């Protein structure tokens, strides 16, 4: 059977764009449909605008440190409209780059919602049908607001999700953030740094479920010390309109009135309405598209990558999965995406960088040694700050391999990227010990830890 295209990609985020481009460069006829803006969550409403806001939020501390170092520095009021205008201009530029790269590779772009009509046919919103030898679903995820609070949002009250933050006409003077994951903690830090009074409620016993317990506790203490009103083991009980914003009642018995509420209570795979289940594709309990190690669904012609599969919801992982798919199907290079030892960073102030096993995970697998230190970095100590850096290595006692590395510090995201290379190569504790330190740096502590603080 002759198909209109060799590959049809549904979704123009980082993973879908990479898969489309690599397949096209391999000689495939490729089409891609995106119902919103090219670049997806990361470029338009996630990693990129968030990181630019992280940079903006750091300047008050920088000015304070400058004074401590002898500069006559003063920080004025933050001009949110001016920043937002530049932010949107940068996002538009990046979207243009994504489009240009696809066009240059020969990918046909359809600015429309698409769904799967049958295992080899994609239907666009206007009814156009395009046949394809292979279909790749790369529709990502979306934030959600639990009921009954979503009704308040529908009524026009300031009940927000992370996507909304970048489009606000003005920053609220106060905000309640629900959730203790990446998004909740990062926006708590960002908005606090921009002058917003931040209260954060976390239903669980601690922030950042899934990260190392010691690192979680250290970071929570740092956020509280910076002035974020963080409450763990607490959930939202009721929310109602009130003069000045919204009145929130929490399970600890407290009531507070805030100008806005941000739900950062998780994201769900964006699989609704795509026609996948109707074609026999298995959809999991959370809405995830179930795939094998090759990103292939139970329908041989349909694949899925990225957050819609609910594996590791990180942009670089989606890109790797997209590239591996294109290499396998169109590049004659069978490749499975490697999901082992994927580093991650939480862009709070300070940052948390992590790769490998937590202490708890490693201890469950066998005997370990834990090397850790906490100290005031030179920069902060001179400026009179009390904030402490944390460095932690988890070592398999039998093989001597470093199986986990956790860093809390300014620039931890940059450091963990390099540490991840060593762990991926199988570096032992002795390899770290043999490495000469770069002095004076924070990162030198990773190669000067000599005595275990715990064994288990």
Cβ(263)–Cβ(146) below 8 Å: yes
Is the bond into 148 cis (omega within 30 degrees of 0)? yes
Task: Give the H/E segment covering residue 391.
Answer: strand 389-396
Question: Residue 35: its pLDDT value, please?
Answer: 97
Question: Residue 456: its pLDDT value, please?
Answer: 87
Q: Residues with Cβ < 8 Å from 72, sequence gap 6 or more?
A: none
Question: Residue 147: its pLDDT value, please?
Answer: 86
* Digitized pLDDT (tens) for each residue of the chain, 456 residues in all: 799 999 999 999 999 999 999 999 999 999 999 999 999 999 999 999 999 999 999 999 999 999 999 999 888 899 999 999 999 999 999 999 999 999 999 999 999 999 999 999 999 999 999 999 999 999 999 999 998 899 999 999 999 999 999 999 999 999 999 999 999 999 999 999 999 999 999 999 999 999 999 999 999 999 999 999 999 999 999 999 999 899 999 999 999 999 999 999 989 999 999 999 999 999 999 999 999 999 999 999 999 999 999 999 999 999 999 999 999 999 999 999 999 999 999 999 999 999 999 999 999 999 999 999 999 999 999 999 999 999 999 999 999 999 999 999 999 999 999 999 999 999 999 999 999 999 999 999 999 999 999 998
Three-class DSSP category at 109: strand
Question: Residue 385: its pLDDT value, please?
Answer: 94
The strand pairing partners of 222, in sequence order, are none
Domains in the chain, ordered, with CATH?
5-142+268-330 (3.50.50.60), 149-265 (3.50.50.60), 344-455 (3.30.390.30)
Question: Residue 5: its pLDDT value, please?
Answer: 98
Question: Residue 237: its pLDDT value, please?
Answer: 96
Per the residue annotation, which of 192, 339, 406, 439 is the catalytic one?
Answer: 439
Q: Specify burial of residue 13 (Cβ count, 10 A radius: 0-12, 13-18, 19+).
A: buried
What percent of the chain is modeled with pLDDT above 90? Answer: 98
Q: Residues with Cβ < 8 Å from 207, sequence gap 6 or more?
A: 180, 181, 184, 185, 216, 219, 220, 223, 230, 232
Question: Residue 224: its pLDDT value, please?
Answer: 98
Question: Residue 74: its pLDDT value, please?
Answer: 87
| Other CB atoms within 10 A of residue 398 CB | 9
Question: Residue 75: its pLDDT value, please?
Answer: 85
pTM of the entire predicted model: 0.96
Would you state the structure tokens that stand for residue 215, as one six-digit string?
A: 């690192």
Give yes or no: 439 in active site: yes
Cβ(31)–Cβ(129) below 8 Å: no
Q: Specify burial of residue 65 (Cβ count, 10 A radius: 0-12, 13-18, 19+).
A: middle
Question: Residue 42: its pLDDT value, please?
Answer: 94
Question: Residue 318: its pLDDT value, please?
Answer: 98
Show the DSSP H helices in 110-194 as ranges: 149-154, 162-165, 182-193
Q: How far is CA 207 from CA 159, 167, 228, 394, in A?
A: 22, 26, 13, 21
Cβ(224)–Cβ(230) below 8 Å: yes
Question: Residue 172: its pLDDT value, please?
Answer: 98
């Amino acid at each position: 059977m002759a198909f209109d295209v060799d590959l049809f990609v549904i979704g123009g985020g980082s993973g879908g764009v990479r898969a489309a481009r690599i397949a096209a460069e391999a000689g495939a006829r490729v089409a891609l449909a995106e119902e919103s803006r090219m670049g997806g969550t990361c470029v338009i409403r996630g990693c990129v605008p968030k990181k630019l806001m992280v940079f903006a939020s750091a300047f008050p501390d920088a000015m304070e440190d400058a004074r401590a170092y002898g500069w006559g520095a003063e920080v004025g009021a933050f001009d949110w409209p001016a920043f937002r205008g530049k932010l949107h201009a940068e996002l538009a530029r990046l979207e243009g780059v994504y489009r240009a790269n696809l066009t240059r590779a020969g990918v046909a772009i359809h600015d429309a919602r698409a769904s799967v009509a049958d295992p080899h046919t994609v239907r666009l919103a206007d009814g156009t049908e395009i046949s394809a030898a292979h279909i790749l679903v790369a529709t990502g995820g979306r934030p959600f607001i639990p009921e009954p609070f979503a009704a308040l949002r529908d009524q026009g009250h300031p009940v927000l999700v992370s996507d909304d933050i970048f489009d606000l006409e003005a920053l609220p003077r106060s905000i309640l953030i629900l959730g203790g994951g990446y998004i909740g903690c990062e926006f708590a830090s960002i908005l606090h740094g921009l002058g917003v009074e931040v209260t954060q409620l976390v239903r669980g016993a601690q922030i950042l479920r899934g990260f190392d317990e010691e690192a979680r506790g250290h970071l929570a203490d740092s956020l509280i010390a910076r002035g974020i009103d963080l409450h763990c083991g607490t959930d939202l009980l009721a929310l109602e309109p009130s003069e000045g914003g919204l009145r929130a009642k929490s399970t600890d018995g407290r009531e507070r009135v805030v100008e806005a509420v941000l739900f950062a209570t998780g994201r769900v795979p964006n699989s609704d309405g795509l026609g996948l289940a109707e074609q026999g594709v298995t959809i999991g309990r959370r809405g995830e598209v179930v795939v094998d190690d090759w990103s292939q669904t139970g329908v041989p012609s349909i694949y899925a990558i990225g957050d819609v599969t609910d594996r590791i919801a990180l942009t670089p992982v989606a890109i790797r999965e997209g590239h591996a798919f294109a290499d396998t199907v169109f590049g004659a290079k069978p490749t499975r995406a490697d999901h082992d030892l994927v580093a991650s960073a939480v862009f709070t102030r300070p940052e948390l960088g992590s790769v490998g096993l937590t202490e708890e995970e490693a201890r469950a697998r066998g005997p370990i040694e834990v090397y850790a230190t906490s100290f005031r970095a030179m920069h902060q100590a001179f400026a009179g700050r009390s904030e402490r850096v944390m460095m932690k290595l988890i070592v398999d006692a039998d093989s001597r391999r470093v199986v986990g590395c956790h860093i809390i510090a300014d620039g931890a995201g940059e450091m963990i990227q390099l540490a991840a290379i060593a762990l991926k190569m199988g570096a032992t504790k002795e390899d770290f010990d043999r490495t000469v330190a770069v002095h004076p740096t924070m990162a030198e502590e990773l190669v000067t830890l000599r005595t275990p603080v715990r064994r288990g």
